[in-house]
Amino acid sequence: MERCPLCRATLNGAQTCRRCRAALQSVKRVEREGEVLVDAAIHSLSLDDVMTAERLLRRALAVHAAPEACALWRLVKMLLRRSEARSASASDFL
Ligand SMILES: [Zn+2]
């Protein structure tokens, strides 16, 4: 987090906003939790485990809808649609 979510002052890593004095420890903790979930989702994608990535990203978005989590969510949804279409067309041959 680079700016205070309340007053938009630059934080420079501070736990308390120098301008509005907001205590940001819990906000930063939530942001970190989201980052850990996004990292785990990326790891799942590297293992070709799209279902686990989807589950992790769903949790990440519930915790903190960061732009990178939203972008990965769109990618995972596209991958799932593609694999569903592929398995549907494969079942046409059975
Ligand atoms: Zn502030």
Kindly give the distance from the C-alpha atom of residue 3 to the centroid of ligand 1, in angstroms, as a whole number.
8
The Cα–Cα gap between 34 and 40 comes to 10
Give distance in angstroms: CA of 51 to centre of ligand 1. Answer: 39
Q: Report pLDDT digits (tens) over 3-62.
A: 998 999 999 888 999 999 999 999 999 999 999 999 999 999 999 999 999 999 999 999
Cα gap 78→72, rounded to integer Å: 10
Contacts of 8 (CB under 8 A, 6+ apart): none
d(CA 65, ligand 1 centre) in Å: 20
Q: Using the mean position of ligand 1's atoms as its centre, give its distance from the Cα of residue 91 in Å.
A: 56
